[in-house]
Structure 1
Amino acid sequence: MTSSFNRREFAQLTGGLLAALGIVAPTGEALAEVRLGKPEPFSFDGLIAAMKEKAAKPYVPPKTRASDILDKIDYDAHWKIQFRPDHTLELGGGKAPIRFFHLGRYFKDPVGINVIDGNTAKPVLYGPDYFDMPKDSPARELPKDIGFAGFRVMEEGEKKDWLAFLGAAYFRSSGELDQFGMSARAVAIDVAMPTPEEFPRFTDFWFAPLETGTLTIYMAMDGPSITGAIRMDCDRSKGVVMDISAHYFMRKDIARLGLAALTSMFWFDELNARNGKDWRPEIHDSDGLAIWNGNGERLWRPLNNPPTVMTSSFVDQNIKGFALEQRDRNFDHYQDDGVFYEKRSTVWVEPKGDWGPGTVQLVEIPTDDEIHDNIVAYFIPEKPAKAGDEVAVDYRLHWVAEEPYVPPVARVWSTRAGMGGVPGQPRPKGVIKFVVDFEGGGIGKLGQQDGVEAVVEASSGKISGVYTLPVVGTERWRAVFDFTADGTAPVEMRLFLKDKTATLSETWLYQYHPGTLVPLD
């Protein structure tokens, strides 16, 4: 899997439900405001230099304290430990209130929390009085200076959070539609490789004074093969936009270094709902990978819940952007009024500067439930990451309802599949029909007389019965084709719409696993 803890538990922890029973303040502890330690010099340049120096030394894993006690703080015990609002770290005159997470079974190693003042920073000093906890909570047995697991940033008024850092080098935002879903992480190391995946962790955070509409967070990252210094400027004026400047230093050779990594969940949608075991019509945080490649072509790859781990690579030069998107915003397609999948963020990666040659890689992992993050997407530079190398990358993350740079051509609206052939006639064995709808880019104004055609290709097998038509009562066009596989190996498909003079749509890409959508016999 792509994480070491249950994603549903993480969502509950970052969402923060108040415990209703048996919660009391630690005995003998007096209420207090945030306590800060002695100032130390701080600058981003200094942090970069420190992490470069650290990468030249052997990795020293964190020494977990009181591990046996932390093991007792499972999900149920953890969510009952509630942060005290009167200990909130107030930044920017209340524009970015920050609250902290307690340690537990899934988050055993503390992180440093610091507040910047000019060219110095003061650490936030932990105390058990920051939290309310039940009388029988194992947390009461922990050392009084055990530390914090992470933090979340609240909205003004402090009723909801919109940004959370908890676990490894992950972070999440509720985005434009105010609903937590997928995660981002600084890097992805050796995902879907024969060797175990590596999870470096954020070890320290520094909060800078707010400028207009922004919160600046600096992060130190450390792991067996890599260190990092990251600056993140968060803007909430429209959706949530993060400007990120990252410097990574290699301790060891890394076979697969994924930058600007995104992690999501896909179980099933309208295309493969037959394989779902749930009463809801669709369950996913994201339904496709979008790419804007260096040649200006827009690609849309619907996500799969494959029969085995699959890695797809999209080689490019000077990529303009990529995203894991949630395009389907119709509540009726999900029917879940508890977690609201239709409100999950699209997260778009916008490179800043020239990223050069490299590959967008998509990893899809089989899952049988919605609690697992089974989708990963990231960018791999063409140059291999070797011990002693520095990789510097700048980019912008958009946590939005709609991708920020909508193409001027039609986009994929939906992908469906069923039995091939013609209704009312004997259905040919082994034939599956694909139906792809497109909308936008002015395509709804075209009629049958305008010569709209579908160009369809497949890496193997036979394509037949291709046709297009406008969908009555909508602004959409539909492309239809039958496909006959010539084996059981995955098939790469490609489709787009055109007329006599121009391309009319983005390019639909799909990886078909014969027999998984409709039985072939």
Structure 2
Amino acid sequence: MDASAAAPDELFDRVTDRARQLAAEPYQAPDSSLPPDLAEMNYDQYREIRFRPEAAIWKDEGPFEVQLFHPGFLYDQPVRLNLVDGQGEVSPLPFRQERFRYDGDASELAELELDGIGHAGFRLHYPLNRGDYHDEFAVFLGASYFRLVGRNQGYGLSTRGLAIDTAEPHGEEFPAFREFWLVKPGPEATRMTVFALLDSPSLAGAYRFDITPGEHTTVDTEARLFAREDIGKLGIAPLTSMFLHGEIGHHPADDYRPRVHDSNGLVMQTGSDEWIWRPLSNPEKLRLSRLQDQSPQGFGLIQRPRDFSAFLDAEAHYERRPSQWVQPLEDWGQGSVELVEIPSESETHDNITAYWVPDQPLTAGEARRYRYRTLTIGATPPGEEVARVIRTRQGWGAVPGQANPPPASRRQFVIDFRGGELSSLDASHPVEMTLESSNGETLEPQVQRLPDGRTWRASFRLAPDGGKPADMRLFLELNDRRLTETWNYVWYPDEFR
């Protein structure tokens, strides 16, 4: 692409033209011919390669700095990086070995001639937590993945540029960013712009990321997509996370920690302003569910427990993992938020993903644009003022000492709500439960205020209909006025363990 000077909007148009041109041509897989010493290195070797902080791009020139990732190990398809200066001049950023240290198991790599091989990705730094230190707040590394943190948060879930055919029987396609343009911010800037060119067998795209680090690190995204082929399932603004075990699922007998997860629920704000909370699970087999909607206002994967005592993990500090919220900046029309839950036996594997799927498929030769904001948050999405689910528990629905107890398939569910107007009500207020289930019979519904005076509990028993799953919805109301988000959960009797 022409490297002459251009204003940011004009540069984005040029990247868009390149994506449109790519989509009109047959797909060509990127060259991944790394030297064998890099392509075959193991994790221990790769982690001994460190970028030299004193070599950071734009060091001491303003609030933002850029550090680079070395290719190798899992990252065998280097990306092209370009810098855009204050006058709009574009210049390639070549790979230079002198910017890296090769320690321990990687020391022999220092003897190789590697200049010119490209970078695996990059990370952005800014005085996020202190005024005198440049913290890492964003990482672009691998396929179309990037991760963000806000103030006093640690890395957890990931964001992706796009998802194609996730959880489909014929397999998922992983689009990848092939080239980036990093626009140098001014000396007093609080926002940075990154452009990216995405490519895959089915599609090419141009992306603009306007990134603002802070308490809630925010990215305003515009994606311009061009289809080479028909795409059956297009996943917009994908979020990828991990849930091993928690309060509602199976608890491993040999793990001292009560919870292990980067996120414990999916939240959605519908076009009609209903707030939905869906607890996450670690199923025995892959589970896929959809929340249908028209013109959604937002969705996200949320880490609701924020205290150390919820996890008791002094190393991982899951209580500091960010939640991520996606807010459309235009009408997305009819579609669904799709949630995929994958069986996992290790906290090192991401097994949760959620994204928006438009009802209208993307066909070959079609172009489409999506604009949205994604931001790191804590336990609560922006604008949610109703009471929220703080706990979901389930167990055998038998009464202690019962002479003829029901089968183990009968379950008791306990859902605790707190916040909003609900937490100011007296126990005498006639708070009621609205409960629906797609299958089975719900029994003994009860609502009560708990002794702390702020939390209200909804409980019921479920008698499943054989092995049929029960898709349940529950919320609390007072005088026909909804006070809480809607608790939504699917119980699979065949997964009782």
TM-score interval for Structure 1 and Structure 2 normalised by the shorter chain: over 0.9
Give the whole-Å Cα distance in 1 for the aligned partners of 2:387 and 2:60: 43
Give the whole-Å Cα distance in 1 for the aligned partners of 2:349 and 2:306: 22
Aligned to 1:434: 413
Preserved CA contact (<8 Å) 1:70 1:139: no
Q: Deviations over 1:447-482 (max 9, x none)?
A: 332111111111111110110100102411000101
Preserved CA contact (<8 Å) 1:299 1:509: yes
Deviation at 1:85, TM superposition (A): 1.8
Choose from 252, 271, 283 the match for 2:229: 252
The count of aligned residue pairs is: 481
Structure 1 position 47 matched with structure 2 position 15: yes
SS of the equivalent of 2:251 reads: helix
SS of the equivalent of 1:52 reads: helix
Aligned to 1:148: 119
Give me the TM-score of the superposition, normalised by structure 2.
0.93
Q: Deviations over 1:281-311 (max 9, x none)?
A: 1000000000000111110000111121111
Deviation at 1:70, TM superposition (A): 2.1
Aligned to 2:31: 63
Give the whole-Å Cα distance in 2 for the aligned partners of 1:201 and 1:139: 29
Aligned to 2:101: 132
Deviation at 1:389, TM superposition (A): 1.1
Q: Deviations over 1:45-102 (max 9, x none)?
A: 1111111011100111111223522233221111111111221101783311110000
Q: Residue 476 and residue 413 in structure 1: after superposition, are their counterparts in 2 closer, same or farther (change >3 A)?
A: same
Give the whole-Å Cα distance in 1 for the aligned partners of 2:61 and 2:67: 15
Match for 1:148: what amino acid?
Answer: H
How is 1:276-287 mapped onto 2 (pairs within 5 angstroms)? 277-287=254-264
Aligned to 1:229: 206
Choose from 49, 69, 72 the match for 2:40: 72
User: Which stretches of structure 1, 4 residues or more, deviate above 6 A after TM superposition?
Assistant: none
Match for 1:466: what amino acid?
Answer: P
Give the whole-Å Cα distance in 2 for the aligned partners of 1:341 and 1:392: 35
Q: Residue 440 and residue 410 in structure 1: after superposition, are their counterparts in 2 closer, same or farther (change >3 A)?
A: same
Match for 1:127: what amino acid?
Answer: R
Choose from 481, 485, 490 the match for 1:506: 485
Give the whole-Å Cα distance in 2 for the aligned partners of 1:394 and 1:356: 13
Aligned to 2:162: 187
Give the whole-Å Cα distance in 2 for the aligned partners of 1:362 and 1:209: 37
Aligned to 1:392: 369
How is 1:81-160 mapped onto 2 (pairs within 5 angstroms)? 81-90=49-58, 93-117=61-85, 118-134=87-103, 136-138=107-109, 140-141=111-112, 143-156=114-127, 157=132, 160=135
Identity %: 37
Give the whole-Å Cα distance in 2 for the aligned partners of 1:380 and 1:350: 14
Q: Residue 66 and residue 445 in structure 1: after superposition, are their counterparts in 2 closer, same or farther (change >3 A)?
A: closer
Deviation at 1:160, TM superposition (A): 3.5
Choose from 464, 483, 490 the match for 1:485: 464
Q: Which runs of 5+ in 1 are unaligned?
A: 1-37
Give the whole-Å Cα distance in 2 for the aligned partners of 1:150 and 1:215: 17
Deviates more, 1:58-67 or 1:107-116: 58-67
Match for 1:52: what amino acid?
Answer: R
Deviation at 1:120, TM superposition (A): 2.7
Give the whole-Å Cα distance in 1 for the aligned partners of 2:239 and 2:357: 13
Match for 1:428: what amino acid?
Answer: P
Preserved CA contact (<8 Å) 2:282 2:341: yes
SS of the equivalent of 1:204 reads: strand
SS of the equivalent of 2:482 reads: coil
How is 1:367-406 mapped onto 2 (pairs within 5 angstroms)? 367-406=344-383
Aligned to 1:451: 430
RMSD: 1.8
Match for 1:186: what amino acid?
Answer: G
SS of the equivalent of 1:137 reads: helix
Give the whole-Å Cα distance in 1 for the aligned partners of 2:206 and 2:133: 29
Give the whole-Å Cα distance in 2 for the aligned partners of 1:453 and 1:399: 34
Give the whole-Å Cα distance in 1 for the aligned partners of 2:358 and 2:411: 37
Give me the TM-score of the superposition, normalised by structure 1.
0.89
How is 1:253-402 mapped onto 2 (pairs within 5 angstroms)? 253-275=230-252, 277-402=254-379
